[in-house]
């Protein structure tokens, strides 16, 4: 009983905070509902430079398009995202967008949004649902292709070094998340017919720097100098792993081939130092496409089902000193 009334009070406070936040971003003191599109966006968390850059880009683009943005950070928890979506429905936003932390478990809340007539945009990651037509589109990277590009680099590198056997450890992203599943699939599908490639172990690093370090310590203890390649699913985990490799007496980028994904500034700096060999870009700049799509949905126009941004590979195969500042 007490819990329920506390929840009610919290709901009212949050709604008031939303209104204040929205009126703050209006032009010339406009109130939400003055014809301005209101977009509710549930962000996964702040686990990486990528994620922080993605949030900043969405905020900047909402401002540039004159869209009222209700942004909630779920701190890596699916239940927080579900609660945020329910608040957006209660507030009657025009469009809801979210970056799902994992792929499963969204049917109920998305059915509620559908019943309320609010269109849903997936940003960055995909979901699996039992019901059809719960979302309108997905704006995010082609993670499978990123895995393929990482593996293609490795094959070229192994050729250039004349390696006859290549022992790989994989530090993977959050279990059951789209980037983890698809990056792994793209990488494995590409190396599977190359008899030199052997994956010693794949381990879950949850896209976090601290977990990257932990995973690397474990892998070094278990496999030591047998490790020739570290394939890490994001920069954060790579940056966590590198000092552990050094502490164990190895030179990252030299004694071990280091492959990362994202292309944030910190990782690019480490690539320039020669401690990372290859970084596959995953751009967090999805805000513009998100705003354009939200406007189309509000106007009842058709939208593209899948929008993948163009991405590139940064590696020791080219002059890395020429890489432009990354902005995240």
* Alpha helices for 28-99 (secondary structure H): 49-65, 78-91
Among 207, 231, 314, 328, binds ligand AHR (CB under 6 A): 207
> Nearer to ligand AHR by C-beta: 182 or 228?
182
Q: Among 7-15, 44-52, 65-73, 300-308, which window interacts with ligand AHR (CB under 6 A)?
A: 44-52
Q: Among 20-28, 46-54, 105-113, 318-326, which window interacts with ligand AHR (CB under 6 A)?
A: 46-54
> Nearer to ligand AHR by C-beta: 236 or 244?
236
> Nearer to ligand AHR by C-beta: 65 or 207?
207
Separation between Cα atoms, residue 247 and residue 216, nearest integer Å: 11
> Nearer to ligand AHR by C-beta: 94 or 124?
124
Separation between Cα atoms, residue 85 and residue 6, nearest integer Å: 19
Residue 48 found at the interface with ligand AHR (CB under 6 A)? yes
Contact track, ligand AHR, 90-129, x by CB under 6 A: ----------------------------------xx----
Among 85, 168, 259, 261, binds ligand AHR (CB under 6 A): 261
Residue 107 bridge partners (DSSP): none
Residue 179 found at the interface with ligand AHR (CB under 6 A)? yes
By CB under 6 A, how many residues form the interface with ligand AHR? 13
> Nearer to ligand AHR by C-beta: 32 or 263?
263
> Nearer to ligand AHR by C-beta: 126 or 316?
126
**26: region left, alpha or beta (phi > 0 left; psi from -120 to 50 alpha):** beta
> Nearer to ligand AHR by C-beta: 23 or 265?
265
Residue 50 found at the interface with ligand AHR (CB under 6 A)? yes
CA-angle at 244, arms to 239 and 245, nearest 5°: 95
Q: Among 43-51, 109-117, 164-172, 309-317, which window interacts with ligand AHR (CB under 6 A)?
A: 43-51
Q: How far is the CB of 238 from ligand AHR (least distance, A)?
A: 10
Separation between Cα atoms, residue 281 and residue 300, nearest integer Å: 33
**Where in the chain does DSSP place strands (E)?**
38-43, 68-73, 95-98, 120-123, 137-139, 166-172, 197-204, 229-232, 257-262, 278-281, 306-307, 313-315
Q: How far is the CB of 13 from ligand AHR (least distance, A)?
A: 29
Residue 170 found at the interface with ligand AHR (CB under 6 A)? no
Q: How far is the CB of 141 from ligand AHR (least distance, A)?
A: 7
Long-range contacts of 55-64 (CB under 8 A, 24+ apart): 56/328, 57/284, 57/285, 57/286, 57/287, 57/328, 58/123, 58/286, 58/287, 58/290, 59/287, 60/287, 61/287, 61/288, 61/290, 61/291, 62/25, 62/287, 62/291, 63/25, 64/291
Rg, Å, the chain Cα set = 22
Among 18, 36, 40, 47, binds ligand AHR (CB under 6 A): 47
Q: How far is the CB of 100 from ligand AHR (least distance, A)?
A: 10
Instruction: Choose among 278, 234, 221: nearest CA to 252.
Output: 278
Q: At what angle do helices 49-65 and 287-298 cross, to 10 degrees?
A: 40
Q: How far is the CB of 225 from ligand AHR (least distance, A)?
A: 29
Separation between Cα atoms, residue 17 and residue 13, nearest integer Å: 6
**Interface of this chain with ligand AHR, residues 263 to 292, rule: CB under 6 A:** 282
Residues in contact with ligand AHR by CB under 6 A are 47-48, 50-51, 124-125, 179, 207, 234, 236, 261-262, 282
């Amino acid at each position: 009983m007490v819990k329920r009334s506390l929840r009610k009070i919290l709901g009212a406070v949050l709604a008031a905070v939303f209104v204040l936040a929205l009126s703050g971003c209006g032009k010339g003191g406009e109130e939400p509902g003055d014809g301005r599109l209101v977009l509710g966006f549930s962000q996964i968390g702040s686990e990486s430079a990528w994620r922080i850059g993605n949030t900043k880009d969405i905020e900047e683009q909402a401002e540039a398009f004159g869209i009222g943005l209700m942004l909630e950070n779920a701190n890596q928890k699916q239940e927080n995202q579900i609660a945020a979506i329910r608040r957006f429905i209660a507030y009657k936003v025009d469009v809801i967008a979210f970056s799902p932390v994992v792929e499963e478990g969204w049917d109920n809340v998305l059915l509620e949004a559908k019943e309320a007539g609010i269109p849903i945009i997936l940003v960055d990651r995909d979901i699996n649902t039992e019901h059809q037509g719960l979302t309108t589109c997905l704006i995010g990277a082609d993670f499978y292709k990123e895995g393929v590009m990482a593996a293609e680099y490795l094959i070229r590198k192994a050729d250039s070094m004349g390696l006859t056997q290549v022992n790989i450890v994989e530090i993977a992203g959050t279990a059951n998340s789209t980037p983890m599943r698809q990056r792994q699939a793209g990488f494995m599908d590409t190396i599977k017919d190359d008899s030199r490639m052997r994956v010693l172990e794949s381990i879950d690093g949850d896209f976090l720097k601290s977990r990257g370090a932990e995973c690397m310590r474990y892998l070094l203890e278990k496999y030591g100098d047998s490790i020739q390649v570290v394939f890490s699913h994001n920069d954060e985990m790579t940056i966590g792993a590198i000092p552990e490799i050094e502490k164990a007496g190895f030179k990252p980028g030299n004694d071990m081939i280091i492959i990362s994904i994202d292309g944030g500034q910190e990782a690019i700096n480490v690539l320039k130092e020669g401690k990372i060999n290859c970084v596959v870009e995953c751009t967090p700049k999805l805000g513009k496409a998100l705003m354009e799509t939200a406007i189309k949905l509000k106007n009842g126009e058709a939208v593209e089902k899948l929008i993948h941004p163009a991405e590139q590979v940064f590696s020791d195969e080219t002059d890395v000193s020429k890489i432009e500042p990354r902005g995240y």
